[in-house]
């Protein structure tokens, strides 16, 4: 797949079509000098465990990877911290409220949306919830289930970074 910058033919600042490759991650406008860098988008992933050592797993209701397993999370909004983003996404998708969290690790990802390859930096958080009575699949989640960490199969997850994250979780399960 070609680099996403090939889709941008006009300068977003002045509208000139003299908008050309500057280097592998940017384009520069020959008219106004504006340089646009194609940097990764921030996305969050919530690892929620219950008292039995099971992880809350979602089934994707929408493309990309519709019907495959996923972990709750999503894109951060503008002016939102990663911590605020993971809390919001978890509440939108599961109805649960995060009471405490800690950062675990990050994984770069490629996310195809509307035919365009978006580059993301997926930030994984171990999230604690005090009450699971409000658990409900909502937003872009078809259903939710608790699965023991040892029974998770990375191949069942549709997104590359989540598959990698599942393998990392298995390696660090005793520290969660």
- Using pLDDT thresholds of 50, 70 and 90, give the confidence band for residue 1: low
Residue 2 predicted with pLDDT over 70: no
94 near 141, Cβ under 8 Å? yes
Q: In the predicted model, what is the mean pLDDT of residues 18-34?
A: 95
Task: Give the chain's domains with CATH numbers.
Answer: 4-37 (no CATH), 41-175 (3.90.79.10)
Q: Looking at the chain, which runs of residues are DSSP E strands?
A: 19-23, 26-29, 35-37, 41-48, 54-60, 69-70, 73-75, 98-113, 116-129, 141-148
**For 37-92, how does the pLDDT look when each residue is reduced to its tens digit (9 = 90+)?**
999 999 999 999 998 989 999 999 999 999 999 999 999 999 999 999 999 999 99
Q: In the predicted model, what is the mean pLDDT of residues 91-111?
A: 97
């Amino acid at each position: 797949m070609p680099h996403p910058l090939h889709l941008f033919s006009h300068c977003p600042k002045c509208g000139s079509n003299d908008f050309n490759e500057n280097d592998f991650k940017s384009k520069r406008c020959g008219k106004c000098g504006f340089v646009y860098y194609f940097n990764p988008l921030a996305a969050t992933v919530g690892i929620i465990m219950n008292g039995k050592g099971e992880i809350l797993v979602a089934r994707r209701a929408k493309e990309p990877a519709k019907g495959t397993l996923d972990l709750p999370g999503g894109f951060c909004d503008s002016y939102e911290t990663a911590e605020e983003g993971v809390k919001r996404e978890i509440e939108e998708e599961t109805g649960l409220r995060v009471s405490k969290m800690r950062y675990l690790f990050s994984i770069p990802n490629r996310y195809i949306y509307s035919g365009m390859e978006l580059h993301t930096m997926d930030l994984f958080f171990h999230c604690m919830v005090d009450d699971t009575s409000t658990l409900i699949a909502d937003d872009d989640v078809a259903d939710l289930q608790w699965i023991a960490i040892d029974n998770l199969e990375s191949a069942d997850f549709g997104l590359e970074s989540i598959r990698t994250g599942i393998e990392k979780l298995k390696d660090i399960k005793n520290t969660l």
